[in-house]
Structure 1
Amino acid sequence: MKRYTLKFQIILLFFLISLPALALSLAASRVNMKEAQEQVVNAKQNSMKMLVKQYDTSLEAIENYIQLTLYADNTYAALRFGEKDSRYQQARVWLRDDLDNLLKYFPLAAGFYVRIPHNNDIYIVKQLDKIPLEAQEFLEENLSGEEDYSNPDILECDGVQYLLKSYKSKYVELGYILQLDELWEQFRNSMEIQDMLAVRLPGRDKHIFFSENTVGNDKMSRYTILEENFSHVDARLELFLPTNSMAGRISVRDRLILYSSILLLVLLPIFMLLLRQVFIVPMNHISCAMQEILNGNTEYRIQQFSKTREFSQIEQAFNRMLNYSQDLKIEAYELKLEKEKEQLINLKLQINPHLLLNSLNTIYSLTMNNKIEEIRDFSINLSKYFRYALRNTSEFVTIQSEIDFIKVYSKVQKIRYPNAFYIMFDVDEELMEERIPPLIIQNFVENSTKYALKPGEEIEILVIIRKSDSTLRISICDSGRGIDEKLLEQISCGQIICDSRGRHVGIWNCVKRLHSFYGEEARFHITSRKGEGTQVWIQIPCRSNVEEKDEGRKEKCDESVDSGR
């Protein structure tokens, strides 16, 4: 098979890339144009959503207040009386004061109006900077007619647009006024010169533009229209974006992409002159270094770095990789020592000299009381306990084995503490052959029998195991004395507990082993309430899933070795 030089392959590759690039640049320009349009549209749509949400929040609160006033508050019931009645006048003043105070909390509202048809009484509570006197008189004149503003409407006075929305009870009509020009001012900063903002009232078939220009039905195709509905008023905010203006922003960049592709062909001779110094020589350095490593010279390092930044980074990374490889050997040895220490701690936890001494005392006590049957059962279960603890040197056991071991342990403890506790298991049958680290569950059951017992009361210990997708969820709960908050905080922080009886490494060792076996996929959480009990949650991957990941990592490692060869 003929082998071509690196220089020939680079030149061929350059032409194979440059020629299609001319065609692809046109397609790229079209894609860039579409993406830019989508970005512009999304940005403006988000601005509209934020503005409408701001108004909806205020309008919802205003609507709630008005409906409460009209239908639930009896304070203004006197408005049903005649205009000359003192009770009517008093209720009128109270309502006016309340609406005036309401304006302080809802600055988006330009004002409120009250219409009492049976007294032909109309008055407006307003913000002076938003509704001048001329506009107030204009609005009062329109409100005095028969127009129904429960369906919102927009009125214009001196070039300013006002939106009116009313709510009616039997005697009173109460509504709010919005100055729409304020909405235009808030949205103007996010608009281009050609963009046009409008408000549409579907119920009245009105279309109000906030500019001198409008968009007729025959010109709709020239615009991208963004819409956002108000939730608490029958109105819609519309933004008209000229399609040509968005496309015009992209064309210059697209032309630059095309010209750049042509320029690459023109600069080909210069590219060939720089090729040797910039690319070929640094590649030779790296190739020689790799050959030295393959020949067994693991101490070899690249001494002279390229002036090209990228190749210099590769050469330095090559040296760091070799240093890292040596460090890994040291780290692997340290991890081996760490694992041996963990195994030693685990062995100490398994043997549990306190249990042995307490068991001997229990046998002695039973002997003194001539309880031969109890001694026989106790001895059999105790021998099963130590047989499992001392012979079980594997990293994983089945859930069935762990549960059987817990049952043996509970029988031993029940002879020492009769009627002090009982254990229940809630485990699906198909999970019995799942494999878990040994003594993980038993350790927490043992803690419950040692520290959670209540004098004169039988506590419950419940072990629940469930499978969700590829995850095992294990829960150990008891109804015992609970854990002190300070002690619980130490456990949650991963600290070893020390007290007058020595160092308690059981929980710490279990958590450490979980992370050693499963890494970050292991989850451990413990909660407790004094006098009510303790709950332990453990979440680990199913053993079959872990083995698949380990096998995958092994295959990747083998592939890396093969490629290195």
Structure 2
Amino acid sequence: MNKKEVPVLKNKNGSIKRYLFIGGIGGSVLLLLLLMCFGGYIILQYRHVYKRDHAAMTSDYAQQLARDIGSMEAYVKNLYGNNVHYQMLKRPQITESQWMLAAYYLNNNFSTKADNLDYFGGVFYYDQDWDSLHSEFSSYPFAGDSYRLNQAIKEAVRAHTGEKMPYEEIMTYEGETYLLYLLGDRGKLLGYTVNLSVYFVLRENMQLIISDMQGNILANLGEPLLDGQTIAEKLRNDTDNAGLTYMISREAVEGQELQVMLIHKDEKLAFWNQAEFWLLFILIPLTAFAVLWNVYRFVKRIIYQPIDHFVHRLTEMKRGEASENFGYAGKESQLEEIRLINEKLDELIAEMGQLEQEKYKKEKEANAALLQYYQLQIRPHFFLNCLNIVASLLNENDVDTVKTMIFAVSRHFRYVFQDSDSLVTLAEEIEEVKAYCNIYIIKNAMPILLQINLEEETESCKIPILCVQTFVENSVKYAVNKSRVLSISITADRIEDDGKWYTRIHITDNGEGYRPEQLEQLNRPVTEFQYHSMQVGVDNIKYRIYLLYGDKAKLYFYNSPAGGAVTEILLPQVMFEKPVQTAL
């Protein structure tokens, strides 16, 4: 290949670049137009479905109101035609005792009906001769009280006793609207009332209007989305148009001179007022341009860069400069085989480095945990204090106490200097707890009330060393108070959870309990050792339990409602054939 052939090849590549660039721009514009058309279609469909559902909801409200009013009307008509007690009350010659007895049984009938209502309403009987009203209402809340509501109904009924029956009227009491229905003759009237103002329970951003067929507003429920003048105008003009952010629909109440209008405000209907719309409007074309640009670069790389690279390598080989520029050419456009070899080699090196880092991290964690464990065990100040107490007791010739102290200290240090990954029985751990408490009692001359309640089958269960003693020591350090005797309770039993058996150890004290920040720290799951100077022992035992049992063991820290810290340990009942050798 001579020097004149190379520019020809590059000119051909340049033409491909130009065509790809033009195709990318055209494809981006076309894609944008398609997305805009699709978005417009989705918006129109959304509004159509939304309007249909809104109309169905309005119809449901109207049908519900029609059913309940029809049920009340049928009930009153049934009383009017078939109830013997009402018939007796209509008799012209009736004694007072007969009237009171019939009114009593009729009122019981009212009470049964009122208890079955799922809205606020009621039924009543009015006797013009006695000027007496007997009523029963449901237990739903309403404005005002039953006595004044009875008086308002009584005044409304008294004013319309001469009307043609049945008679319906809208009355207002304490700012709430009631539908009043009357049926009867000769001054003996039955009726019902329904509180329209609290009848419906609406969702957020909804307003419901109950009006008569002439457009007069009777009840305005829910949030005030539209003012009364706007609503009245729409009712009179029979229009449902209220802007793109509102959805309005209406429905007549069957069998009544009433209609229901439901108004719902949804900002999503005016999509151009939302930041998400403009964000998508900008991001979609940018994403399309970015995708097509990357396609262009990819095509450029796989079509003509290998040829340029091949020509370049031939030229370098001819000039004897292959080793000098090979790295650059390989990065620009590698052959598939070379690229795969380099990638696998890089992955291998990266994996080796990662394994080395993980190994170093594990060793570091193990050393830190082991160091903290022996720091917890040795505690030179504790040992020296014990020796000073022994010396003091010898000076006082208190030989019995000295023997007790020596035995307790020797048992304690013999126990804590076992291997950190040893498993001991719960009974052995409890003996260590008793020895530690005896040392504390002798050292500080303060009593400890230690209550232990173990199920017999749990005493032989294997647990990590210092699993219980660590939390008892924590209670001794932080729960002691000179104003009260320190009480520590230890219980153990077996429980089943998800078909698996656990040994549950429950440790409580009567101290002040954990602070909120301590509870947050203690209840975090442990997957690696972390040093906290204020809770070295607790962090140590949590990490050792994690190393022995993994996620199967559970630790819970909380405060008792009666006061005091509570530690609950759940260890799976697993038979270890030999101690688990894990680095701390």
Q: Could you say which TM-score interval applies, normalised by the shorter chain?
A: 0.3 to 0.5
TM-score by length of 2: 0.45
Structure of larger gyration radius: 2
